[in-house]
Amino acid sequence: MAEKTIRLEVVTPEKIVVDEDVKIVMAPGALGEFGVLPGHTPFLTTLKIGSLHYQDAAGTERFAFVSGGFAEALPDKVTILAESAERSRDIDVERAKRALERAQQRLAEKGKREDIDFMRAQAALERALYRLRITSEKTQ
């Protein structure tokens, strides 16, 4: 008998990032990481910046970066509506490193300059760190 799967869709305003059947989805909910298996009770939640990981139908662990948005879980489908999202294999590591350096510089200048938007720099730092963390995972 075939193992049950659940449909995962990860969508941004620009594109469809993931659209496939998976065994499990783990996502960064606003109140903590949550997991969804086939047959899950329906719910809706907000997302924070973080790592979305899932096991594809073949059992391979996959990773993606998500930056905010919403998740809807149904018994047979998980829909992630993210502000931005990238599969780990699509992340430009050099670009993420540059973004990390820029964010660190902005935060270091916080006490020296009045025009630094601390919250924006902190969010940029967090996004860059998650992108780099996801690319360092063993499976893509």
Structural domains in the chain, CATH included, are 6-89 (2.60.15.10), 91-135 (1.20.5.440)
pTM: 0.74
pLDDT of residue 56: 94
Q: For strand 50-56 and strand 61-74, is the pairing parallel, antiparallel, or unpaired?
A: antiparallel
Show the 3-state SS of 32-69: EEEEECCCCCCEEEEECCEEEEEEECCCCEEEEEEEEE
pLDDT of residue 129: 72
Lookup: tokens for 58: 């073949």
What's the average pLDDT block by block, 10 residues per block, for the chain (140 residues)? 87 95 95 95 94 93 92 97 86 76 75 64 74 64
pLDDT of residue 16: 95
Q: What φ, ψ does residue 94 adopt, rounded to 5°?
A: -65, -40
At which residue do the structure tokens 């660190």 appear? 104
pLDDT of residue 138: 45
At which residue do the structure tokens 């993210």 appear? 82
